[in-house]
C-alpha cells in the first residue's frame, strides 16, 4: 500500500468552547474549556506547512470563539486551503465583511451547520433559535462573497426531508453540501434510536448523483463504500484514517479520524506530526489490510476500499479491523452464514 509521506488533510479542533449545546455534539462542546494555546497552534500549522500539508480544517467547539481567530486565519491563508466548521453564531455582517477582506483566491471556505429547511427540523437537536442563527450566517457570507457550504447531520427525524433541504439550499445558491450520519458519540450517546439504519444510509448514497444533477451542487458523503453504488464510478475511495488524515484535539492529542478521537496516536506537545505519521504503530495497523477481519478478509475489494470506514467500525463495533457496519457485502455474507461478524 502506498502511503503519502505526510497526510493530505489536517483537522484541528482548536477549542472545546461553544456558545451552543447541541444534543448530538460528538465533542461535547461547551461542557468544559480546553483549547490549544496560540503558540502551539502556530507551531502546528508551521510544521504542517513544512511537511507539505496544504489542506486544513478548523473546528471546535465553536472556532470563532478562539482568541484572535481572524489574525490566525490571515497569517496562514496564503499557506493553506482553510475550511472552517461553524454553527454560524458569530458570523454577523461585520464578521462576514472581515472574512471577505481576508479571502484570497477562494482559499478560505466556511461550512455552516444546517440540518433542515425549517426551524423545526434544524432546531430539533441544536436548540430553539439556532435555525435563524445559521440562516443569518449563510446570508451574510453570501452577501460578501465568502465561499460557503453546508454541513448537515442526517438522522431518522430529518432524513425524509433531505430533498426539501436541498431545494431550500439551491434557493440560497449553495453549491456544496456535506452529509454526515448521526453517530452516538459524545452527547449523542443518548440518541441511538435516531441513528440511520443501513438501508436508509444506502438509499442516500444511491440517490446522491441524481440529487447533484437535479440541484446542480456537490454533495459529499465521504463513504468509502460509495463505489458499490451503481451510479458511482466504481473506483474505491478508501477510508482516510491512517492514510490521508490526522486530527488534533484541543488538549493536543492526535487521532486518526473524527470517529476515533479517543484513539491517541501521540500528543503534539511531545511529538511532531512527522514522527506520529511515520512511527505510530496504530497507523501502521490501520494501513495493513491483512489485519482486516470478517468478510473483509476475503473480499475482492479489500485492496481498494480497505475495509470501509474504520471509524464507524471502531465506534459501533469497538474494533477497527471488522467490516464497515454499513457494508452490504458484509451483511450478505453474514446472512448467508458464510462468515461471522
pLDDT digits (tens, 9 = 90+) for 185-224: 888 889 999 999 988 998 998 899 999 999 999 999 878 8
Looking at per-residue confidence, does 32 or 218 come out higher?
A: 218
Q: What's this model's pTM, rounded to 2 decimal places?
A: 0.91
In sequence order, which ranges of 149-301 are alpha helices (DSSP H)? 162-171, 198-215, 273-279, 281-287
Say yes or no to pLDDT of 171 above 50. yes
What per-residue confidence (pLDDT) applies to 330? 64
Can you tell me the distance from the alpha carbon of 331 to that of 201, in angstroms, rounded to the nearest whole number?
14
Q: What is the mean pLDDT of residues 243-258?
A: 95
Q: What is the mean pLDDT of residues 77-89?
A: 95
User: Which of 214, 234, 124, 222 lies closest to 169, judged by CA?
Assistant: 214
Compute, in degrees rounded to 10, the torsion defined by CA atoms 83, 28, 40, 80. Answer: -10
Q: What confidence tens digit (pLDDT) does each residue in 306-316 have? A: 888 898 888 87
Tell me the three-class secondary structure of 148-159, residue by residue. EEEEEEECCCCH
Say yes or no to pLDDT of 340 above 60. no
In this structure, are residues 217 and 176 in contact, taking their beta carbons and an 8 Å threshold?
yes
Sequence-distant (6+) residues with CB within 8 A of 319 are: 293, 313
**Parallel, antiparallel or unpaired: strands 9-13 and 245-248:** parallel
H/E element holding 312?
helix 310-317
What per-residue confidence (pLDDT) applies to 332? 53
Q: What confidence tens digit (pLDDT) does each residue in 107-134 have? A: 899 999 999 999 999 999 999 999 999 9
User: Which of 85, 94, 88 lies closest to 20, judged by CA?
Assistant: 88
318 φ/ψ sector (left φ>0, alpha ψ -120 to 50, else beta): left
Amino acid at each position: 500500500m502506498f502511503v503519502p509521506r505526510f497526510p493530505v488533510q489536517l483537522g484541528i479542533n482548536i477549542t472545546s468552547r461553544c456558545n451552543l449545546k447541541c444534543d448530538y455534539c460528538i465533542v461535547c462542546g461547551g461542557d468544559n474549556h480546553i483549547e490549544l494555546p496560540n503558540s502551539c497552534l502556530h507551531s502546528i500549522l508551521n510544521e504542517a506547512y513544512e511537511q507539505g500539508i496544504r489542506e486544513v480544517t478548523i473546528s471546535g467547539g465553536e472556532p470563532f470563539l478562539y482568541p484572535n481567530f481572524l489574525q490566525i486565519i490571515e497569517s496562514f491563508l496564503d499557506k493553506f486551503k482553510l475550511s472552517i466548521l461553524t454553527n454560524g453564531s458569530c458570523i454577523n455582517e461585520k464578521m462576514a465583511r472581515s472574512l471577505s477582506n481576508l479571502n484570497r483566491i477562494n482559499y478560505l471556505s466556511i461550512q455552516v451547520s444546517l440540518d433542515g429547511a425549517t426551524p423545526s427540523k434544524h432546531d430539533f437537536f441544536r436548540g430553539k433559535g439556532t435555525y435563524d442563527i445559521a440562516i443569518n450566517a449563510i446570508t451574510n457570507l453570501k452577501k460578501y462573497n465568502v465561499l460557503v457550504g453546508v454541513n448537515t447531520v442526517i438522522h431518522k427525524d430529518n432524513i425524509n426531508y433531505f430533498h426539501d433541504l436541498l431545494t431550500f439550499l439551491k434557493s440560497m445558491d449553495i453549491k456544496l453540501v456535506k452529509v454526515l450520519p448521526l453517530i452516538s458519540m459524545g452527547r449523542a450517546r443518548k440518541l441511538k434510536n435516531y441513528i440511520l439504519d443501513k438501508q436508509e444510509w444506502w438509499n442516500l448514497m444511491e440517490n446522491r448523483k441524481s440529487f447533484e444533477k437535479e440541484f446542480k451542487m456537490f454533495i459529499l458523503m465521504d463513504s468509502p463504500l460509495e463505489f458499490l453504488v451503481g451510479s458511482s464510478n466504481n473506483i474505491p475511495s478508501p477510508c482516510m484514517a491512517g492514510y490521508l488524515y490526522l486530527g488534533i484535539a484541543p488538549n493536543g492529542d492526535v487521532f486518526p479520524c473524527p470517529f476515533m478521537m479517543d484513539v491517541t496516536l501521540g500528543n503534539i506537545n511531545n511529538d511532531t506530526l512527522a514522527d506520529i505519521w511515520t512511527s505510530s504503530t496504530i497507523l501502521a495497523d490501520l494501513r495493513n489490510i491483512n489485519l482486516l477481519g470478517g468478510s473483509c478478509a476475503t473480499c475482492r475489494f479489500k485492496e481498494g476500499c480497505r475495509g470501509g470506514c474504520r471509524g464507524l467500525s471502531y465506534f459501533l463495533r469497538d474494533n477497527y479491523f471488522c467490516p464497515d457496519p454499513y457494508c452490504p457485502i458484509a451483511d450478505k455474507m453474514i446472512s448467508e452464514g458464510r462468515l461471522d461478524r
